[in-house]
Amino acid sequence: MSAKKYVIGLDYGSDSGRAVVVDVATGEEIASSVMNYPRWMEGKYCDPVKNQYRQHPLDYIEVMEYLIKDALEKSPKGVAGSLVGLSFDTTGSTPVLTDENGTPLALLPEYAENPNAMFVLWKDHTAVKEAAEINELVKKWDIDYSQYEGGIYSSEWVWAKMLHVLREDESIRDKAVSWIEHCDWMSAVLTGKQKPTEVVRSRCSAGHKAMWHESWNGLPSEEFLTSLDPLLKGYRDQLYDETYTSDISVGKISPEWAERLGISTDVAVGVGAFDCHMGAVGGEVTPNVLARAIGTSTCDIMIASYDQIGDKLIPGICGQVDGSVIPGYVGLEAGQSAFGDLYAWFKNVVAWPIENILSKTTLIDEETREKLIDEAISKIIPELSKEAEKISIEESTIVAVDWMNGRRTPDASQEVTGSIAGLTLGSSAPRIFRALVEATAFGSKAIVDRFVREGVEIKGIIGLGGVAKKSPFVMQTLADVLNMPIKIARTEQTCACGAAMFAAVAAGVYKTVGEAQKAMGQGFDMEYIPNPDHAKKYLEIYEKYVKLGTFTEQELFGKDKIVETIGQIS
């Protein structure tokens, strides 16, 4: 490569977007930019009590334009002119209903403030009823369309969400003719290929969340969908049969967007994918290594050979999809619905008096008061971690279950709830916090155990994301519970860097994703080694976690089984 070439990787998280400009020859990060979604940060269109989380498409467009321009302005002179490709990753499943032109309904004036016309964020759990109906119907149908998605369809996934919105809001039914995932929409916008039948659809999103599989010619049949609800009539014709892996180019950036962003019309735009899948690539995942993107939730990604998977159908995970991570391998996905969100929930509980009592004091001026409140709240998690780390495992008698936001894996259920047992008058905030950290680690072990039980070997673990980089206490606890070393990827923006690797392949710089990983990967900066004594002790506590989880679930769904569960615990 004589002349320098650069790519941009864009990562859309739950709260913000980020972009990295990367040298394709070395993987060196030339510049980066981060921006929060403005409407989302104001709390618009969301109702946590109803588990409703919606994001306006303008947040995505405005953030994208800012990130690319800002990152290129921070780059050395000439970088913008040497840009050859860009690719996206997003959260998922995060779909939106569109009109016949592929325009998200919230971009039409009459629906601009209607949450049902907006993107339904991955953690929106308003479609629990619809997911249950899908699960009931697939078990009666001649084809089980959920078999490659772990055998359980989740309320976090596209068909349940879109059906729920259509049922809930009569005002949008006549206008809506199709839907699109966030990761597909970004590429469609930049290339101008937005009409529903023109959009180049991601294998990743389709296979893991939309019940797409080539063995039944794509999406579930029209008969199945209309049997689920007549409101879905005609949607399949406005969607797709073919899907594409993320090493493929959707096309060149449109003249309109090239001018707006100040880049060449020769820039290739890659097929999008979900954040954790591209994050695994950015973290240099290899076969049978579990890459854990650990943030507000976790998404666990593996790749396995066709020979290893064979005709296995792994129950209770979030899908096994050919090429969803790296072409040539089966991508396996699992995850936890809450990880960092669990700590954030407890922080908010602890912070309630600070925000609601201290904020009303008149003993100090408003500016000083606000400064004190912000400073105190920012120190809650670090101080809790410091004190919790001092508590020995033997003293840690509280046991918690990590389902405060439902359970993603194993065996998805957004109806289950978390629980905490073993509380006494001596149960301090650090002790409870330690139990919550252990609970998230136990939830991780349940995922690992499911893979191993189904014959999928796990040779190593890679930690990605904010929690992995910034929380030594959490990561050491996780290593001890799993009794496996955990390597931490050096780059802080693994998802965006993974997107950059895909952009380099889509632009033709590298032939394969593996080549891009070798050239552009940044390696690892540390490793957590399990303490054998701690690992042994945690095995005993893990059994209590499993029993408490069983009891919690039976309390919700099977009152007649409570006596049996109590007997097991005692």
503-523: pLDDT as tens digits: 999 999 999 999 999 999 999
- Which one, of 319, 318, 323, 281, lies nearest residue 306 by Cα? 323
Average pLDDT over residues 298-324: 95
Q: How confident is the model at residue 139 (pLDDT cuts 50, 70, 90)?
A: very high
> For residue 38, is pLDDT > 60?
yes
In this prediction, residue 23 carries a pLDDT of 98
Q: Exposed, middle or buried: residue 554 (CB in 10 Å: 0-12, 13-18, 19+)?
A: middle
> For residue 562, is pLDDT > 70?
no
71 found inside a domain = no
> For residue 310, is pLDDT > 60?
yes
In this prediction, residue 513 carries a pLDDT of 97
373: helix, strand or coil:
helix
Q: Read off the amino acid at residue 191.
A: T
277 found inside a domain = no
Task: State which H helix or E strand residue 224 sits in.
Answer: helix 222-228
Q: What is the 3-state secondary structure (H, E, C) of 473-486?
A: HHHHHHHHHHCCCE
Give the tens place of pLDDT for each residue, 45-90. 999 889 999 999 999 999 999 999 999 999 999 999 999 999 999 9
CB of 8 within 8 A of CB of 500?
A: yes
A 10 A CB-CB count for 377 gives 15
372 found inside a domain = yes
Give the tens place of pLDDT for each residue, 281-298. 999 999 999 999 998 889
360 found inside a domain = yes
Token duo for residue 45 = 């269109």
Give Cβ neighbours of residue 508 (< 8 Å, ≥ 6 apart): 84, 249, 268
419 found inside a domain = yes
pTM of the model: 0.90
**What is the percent of the chain where pLDDT is above 90?**
89
Give me the domain span that covers residue 384: 340-489+526-556
In this prediction, residue 363 carries a pLDDT of 73
Task: State which H helix or E strand residue 98 sits in.
Answer: strand 95-98
How distant, in Å, are the alpha carbons of 333, 387, 442, 475, 531 from that of 468?
18, 19, 16, 6, 18
Bin 196: left if φ > 0, else alpha if -120 < ψ < 50, else beta.
alpha
In this prediction, residue 19 carries a pLDDT of 98
Give the tens place of pLDDT for each residue, 231-273. 999 999 999 999 999 999 999 999 999 999 999 999 999 999 9
Average pLDDT over residues 25-30: 96
378 found inside a domain = yes
401 found inside a domain = yes
259 found inside a domain = no
- CA torsion 398→399→403→407, rounded to 10°? 160
In this prediction, residue 559 carries a pLDDT of 52
Distance CA(555)–CA(246), nearest Å, equals: 43
Number of structural domains (the chain) is: 1
> For residue 319, is pLDDT > 90?
yes
CATH of the domain at 363: 3.30.420.40
160: helix, strand or coil:
helix
